[in-house]
Amino acid sequence: MIPARCLTTCEDDEEDNTRVALILGEKPVCGIKNLLMAPKIKLSSGYEMPVLGLGTANMRGYQCLTAIHCAVETGFRHFDTAYVYENEREVGEALRTQIQMGNVSRENIFLTTKLWNIHHDPREVRRICEKQLEALGFDYIDLYLMHFPVGFTHLCDEILYPKQDDKVQLSDVDYIDTWRAMEELVKLGMVRSIGVSNFNMEQVQRIIQCSSSKPVVNQVEVWPGFMQKDLVDYCRYNGIVVTAYAPIGQPDRETHTPIYFFSEGMRRLVKKYKRTPAQIVLRYLIDYGVVPIPKAANPLHIKENLNIFDFQLTEEDRRLLKGIKPKDRLIKFEEAAEHPFYPFEREDERDRRTEEFEKEDGTPKRASAAAPADGPAEGEEGGE
């Protein structure tokens, strides 16, 4: 759970309680004078970050613009984008429009973007960050993350996955050298805080040991079937906030996956709390101590995702969610699996671990629970 001493409210943000301009032809969810906003957690850099954000992976063009506009008018202040998402320009345009309309100030926006794998060469870091600032239209970035510990060969800025013979071309740049170049961005005032994404425990530890500053954030996949407890605990011990992407597990109504999302147990929680499955999961993850960034483009889902701070799960219900059987990660970046810095378990290692577990547990390898044929699905939060 995020300690109460680390959380602040948004009640003193005067500009956030003024009249909200309506560009989508509908009233704000909480009325003119009472926008609901997420509490904030203090990062080790001294800056504050809202404990809930809006993810924008796979959102482009008009869909991205309208999602950002709706999110700001609903009360979101934390936005997550990346160079590889190819939507920084739309994210920046929508946020700047909201600032110009007087709905929010730049100081009350927390904007995260990421350094992509083709730009790991330390000589590239400042140049590409300047390009990202230009696309966003801002003077600084609140949080700049190294998207992945593995670098790709740089051919040009537009080729995000350089390939030869259908294989991504990997580079041998050490992420420690990339990190040191990112530290210079803080000194230059281009970014306020720096962190990492998709780093495992050993890689985070190596940065702490080999650098003058530690990451303020590690953004990784966390959802009820993939909680990464050891990594989360390690980061928490070292004062590193964990941001959770794909926090709901990418629910799919057609395949009824993940199973927990469509289960009878989840339906009981929905009935008990009168909340959607997504709201229950987001509330659970915040209580667990991570910062979820669900992706949503539908205005209803955007509003629902933020409307989670007026209820709490009982300890018994948190234990129920904690007891969900662990699953494999959703986002595997398998194109980089041959690199020595690949941060995840490789497929052969997963298979070996699964076989050992099943031998001890006595569970048939292909056994799985049947999912009910009905049940709500948000179906809107994606991964990296």
Q: What percent of the chain has pLDDT over 90?
A: 80
| Mean pLDDT score, 35-62 | 96
Copy the structure tokens of residue 212: 């003058």
pLDDT tens, 154-167? Answer: 999 999 999 999 99
Reported as a single tens digit per residue, the pLDDT across 78-89 is 999 999 999 999
pLDDT tens by residue, 218-265: 999 999 999 999 999 999 999 999 999 999 999 999 999 999 999 999
Tell me which residue of 80, 379, 67 sits closest to 250, measured CA to CA. Answer: 379
List the strands of the sheet with 217-221, edge to edge: 54-55, 78-80, 110-115, 141-146, 191-197, 217-221, 241-245, 291-292
Can you name the CATH fold of 40-342? TIM Barrel (3.20.20)
Q: What is the DSSP code (8-state) at residue 295?
A: B
The domain ranges of the chain are: 40-342
pLDDT of residue 36: 81
159 half-sphere exposure, CB direction, 13 A CA radius: 10
Tell me which of 47, 62, 83, 85 is the catalytic residue: 85
Residue closest to 44 by CA, chosen among 199, 201, 178, 194? 194
Tokens of 109: 């926006």
Residue 85 is among the residues annotated as catalytic for this protein: yes
pTM: 0.86
- Average pLDDT score over residue span 277-292: 98
3-state secondary structure 173-193: CCHHHHHHHHHHHHHCCCEEE
